[in-house]
Structure 1
Amino acid sequence: MPEIAEVARLTHFLQLHLVGKKISKVLAPDDSSIFGKVGTSGPEFQRALTGKTVIGAGNQGKYFWFLLDKPPHPVIHCGMTGWVHIRGQQTTYNRYEEKSKGDRNQWPPKYWKFQLETDSTPKVEVAFTDARRFGRVRLVDCPAEEIRKHSPLVENGPDPVVDKDVFTEEYLRQKMTSRHVPIKALLLDQAVISGIGNWVGDEIMYQAKLHPEQYCDDFDDSDIATLYKAIRYVCDTAVEKLGDSDEFPEDWLFKHRWGKGKKGAVTTLPNGESFTFITVGGRTSCVVPNLQKKKGRTTIDGVKEEGNASGKGSESRFFEVKSGKEAAGNPKDEGRPAKRAKTSESKAVKKEQEQSAPASKQNVKKQKVDVKEPTQPVPEVGRRRSTRLNSAN
């Protein structure tokens, strides 16, 4: 999925080739997933852009847009596979370039969702493609300077590169201490920080040498400062390089993590440290266990475990460590993990009931044969069962 760096790359190309030009032709066949999910349609998008002049382009996290001389303005989310192509330009970034080589000279490109061209000389031809159709294209009807005050941009958190005055260390501390989720899940929450996706999140945690499973409210001030610096470093560097992975630093986890599941894949970094993959918040996460130590409470498959180095985590979120009983009265325990805890308790009760239940008919029969003179009276239920068994025989 295009993340903060890739979307910055798209914005760069739009600013370079489209801003200042008038759109003379638009093609946008209706697609209920691309347009309809956000309350517009292909024909409506086509009418809104035709004849308008592009006066600017911008990005916030995983969203980008281009501003027209008159509203409404198109705002686009790439989803999983969305991308912008400009005829005659190589807009793709190196990690995915191999996939596009065969279609480089094809126009319009495969899986296009809308096309437009300008009346300039030479004319500029632009197409948005999305093979998996998780992208979203919408129109925002507001003055150009107010576009970030409207949905969907207003619901998203600050962009760590664009919004340096908002995304501060104090902002991060406040978000971390007011929530109780694995830190990787917090980083991926677009309402908290815009633009961080899976690979950026993993790179940040690796550079900070912090574990992605640790709960966000279990970090001390020193760790928060380290994490903030890592977020700024990774995001600033990736955007500066416009998502060109060949330009990323050689010591980045990014350069070596892409062989998962491939035969003979390397799982060791140049510095000799091994990396592995775990699941955090439903997403695959790349971790270097020897460098990213668990401190405080962590989460594995929805159930918390005790930490080690900091002395925190003496209490489990879902179970009392000493008694093994389900913790009660904590509103944060709602949801799926709490159901798992309840299920475990039910199984334990059921097992206890089975162990205390009367013996089966077969066991009673065996007891009657093997034990001629029981030292204790047979329970009433047992005598009735024995009587029935004798009468049956």
Structure 2
Amino acid sequence: MCPVVWGIWFSLSSILLWGAPEVNTSWWYMGAMGSRVICDNIPGLISQQRRLCHKHPDVMQSIGAGIKDWIRECQHQFSHHRWNCNTIDRDHNLFGRVILRSSMEAAFVYAISSAGVVFAVTRACSQGELSSCSCDPKKKGSTKDNKGNFDWGGCSDNVNYGIRYARAFIDAKDRKEKDARALMNLHNNRSGRKAVKRFLKLECKCHGVSGSCSVRTCWLAMADFRKTGDYLRRKYSGAIQVVMNQDGTGFTVANKKFKKPTKSDLVYFENSPDYCITDREAGSLGTAGRVCNRTSRSMDSCEVMCCGRGYDTSHVMRMTKCECKFQWCCAVRCRDCHETVDVHTCKAPKNADWLDQT
């Protein structure tokens, strides 16, 4: 096993294996291992997923490396919210029981994780790290856009391969289950995959005398994953609550006033908890001790974040760069300055109505 893969396996397995509770095991846990041995030993995978894992161990490595990226993006998108996409130590599915609830948060996690696999696999294809794919083979010859004719060149990201692999691997288990939650997962997985392709952009290089664009060579490239994260975060805000239709083959809106979900929308069945207090059954860690913004009027405000319980204020010394001056040539010299700032953190519940619900 190469050092990078071993590092991924050891760090995550040491966190997750010891004392992991018996909940639905997710490919999120398996993907980070990047090892054929783990493909055999991890619980929860169906035969098709194991076959793909054994057949393409290099793809598993790219998925494992990409897991950290989409979790980081999820946490960026919700950093100022009561639910902050926190991962749970010693849990097989990384997110604890919050994923077992068919909520908006579960919908977002499934979508962003599916998008993350597409992005990671496609990137690995373009970088020549996978034996089963490379640059998009269909981007050959000449074509034109609104700026005129151009030749395909460079390395167009093979996003269609990333989508096909993500669909085959991620969707396999839910296609087999065929229950209401499986249909929800499949829908949100597809929404995530579509989001990556939505932000493909044409990049070009000009050729000609004195830098003129008499000839252009162009390729398709994925945008930074932040664009996908921002887009799915907006879809989360507009997620549509649904119920199963009468024949059990699809969805209908729970409230007739809302529009029917498109393939790009996120869907969910159950209302979310308020995430104010620790509730292990609901997967809520509560907001006690969370940092809040006393002057904000948004989701990170102390009033919203602390659920009306109030907050504590502490004085914290931090070091910053100050009195920066440009020196010829070519450096900026700064002094290290210390300043005291107020940090506000949410109070813990005090009365019986706020007891830890277990």
* TM-score, normalising length: structure 2: 0.26
For normalisation by structure 1, the TM-score amounts to 0.24
- In terms of fraction of residues, the more strand-rich structure is 2
Larger Rg over CA atoms: 1
